[in-house]
Amino acid sequence: MSKVFTFTPDIDTVIRADEIITGGTGYRDYGSLPPEVEAMSPDYAIYPQFRRALGFMTRGCCRRCAWCIVPRKEGTVRPAAAWDEIRRPDSREIIFLDNNVLASEFGVEQIRRMGGRPLWVDFNQGLDARLITPEIAGLLARLRWIRFVRLSCDTSELLPTVKQAAAYLKEAGIAPSRLWAYTLVRDVDEAHRRVAALRDMGITPFAQPYRDYDGSEPTAEQRAFARWVNKKSVFYSCKWDEFRYPGKEFT
């Protein structure tokens, strides 16, 4: 039984099994499954309503962001599987879960191999803007995207880099409406300035209130800010100060 987050509740229903093995970040278990298990394809028959393939072309990350457990859990970036090993025979859509595919020569080569094929993809953990060059942007532009080209901008220091990466992607032919960025929310005022800058670049922000490894709850203000950013009908129709209105206290 796996759990991704420490704040995820345990299953409280009866499980018919002789033995239950727990693992994953949510249980603070940073080990790995046996290689033969890691190499197995998911049993999609369990979820017949889900029509896309899921998998990792690479595991790990070369960055050491203070809020991220991936390097501690998985180590530096390394190959995991070729794209055609992940693809389902009954689907043309793949969701890749890689944490930093562009930091891997293997990962970049897989992107190159997918270019121009009748295949729709999503890198749902976000692409590292620091690694997007004109050449990489050209490779990404040859892919067919399920919806968004996801980036991340978790600190204000990354704004110039994200702006340059967005320019490369647009020059390569990726529509601005496809650009999207994760934004970590710790200090709300700083996150607000960052979100406003992303919006001015034409990038759709997605706010994620910060939680630590112990599962601490985001503050009421962080939650409210995320609601404002992530509900686009509100985000594009009123300002943050109008949403929280003067005198409102967050407790």
Q: With 60 as the cut, is the pLDDT of residue 246 above it? A: no
- Residues 20 and 64 both lie in one domain: no
- Residues 10 and 131 both lie in one domain: no
- Residues 184 and 222 both lie in one domain: yes
What does the pLDDT average to over 63-90?
A: 87
pLDDT level of residue 250 (50, 70, 90 thresholds) = low
State the pLDDT at residue 20.
Answer: 82
The sheet that has 149-152: what strands, in order across it?
149-152, 179-185, 204-209
Q: What angle do CA 2, 96, 76 make, to 5 degrees?
A: 75
pLDDT level of residue 245 (50, 70, 90 thresholds) = low
Q: For the chain, give the percent of residues with pLDDT over 70.
A: 96
- Residues 160 and 178 both lie in one domain: yes
State the pLDDT at residue 63.
Answer: 86
Count: domains in the chain: 2
Does some domain include residue 88?
Answer: yes
- Residues 98 and 24 both lie in one domain: no
Does some domain include residue 250?
Answer: no
- Residues 10 and 48 both lie in one domain: no
Rounded-to-integer distance, Cα 128 and Cα 130, Å: 5
- Residues 65 and 5 both lie in one domain: no
What's the chain's average pLDDT?
90
72-84 pLDDT, tens digit each = 778 889 999 999 9
- Residues 49 and 4 both lie in one domain: no
Does some domain include residue 251?
Answer: no
Domain with 26, as residue range(s), is: 1-31
Q: With 90 as the cut, is the pLDDT of residue 238 above it? A: yes
- Residues 41 and 139 both lie in one domain: yes
- Residues 108 and 3 both lie in one domain: no
pTM: 0.88
Euclidean distance between the first and the last CA atom of the chain, given in angstroms as a whole number: 35
Residue with the bigger pLDDT between 60 and 215: it is 60
DSSP state of 18: S
What does the pLDDT average to over 22-31?
A: 75
Rounded-to-integer distance, Cα 22 and Cα 102, Å: 31
Q: With 60 as the cut, is the pLDDT of residue 251 above it? A: no
- Residues 190 and 145 both lie in one domain: yes
Structure tokens of 68?
A: 């991220």
- Residues 134 and 53 both lie in one domain: yes
Residue with the bigger pLDDT between 36 and 177: it is 177
* Cα radius of gyration rounded to whole Å, the chain: 20
Does some domain include residue 249?
Answer: no
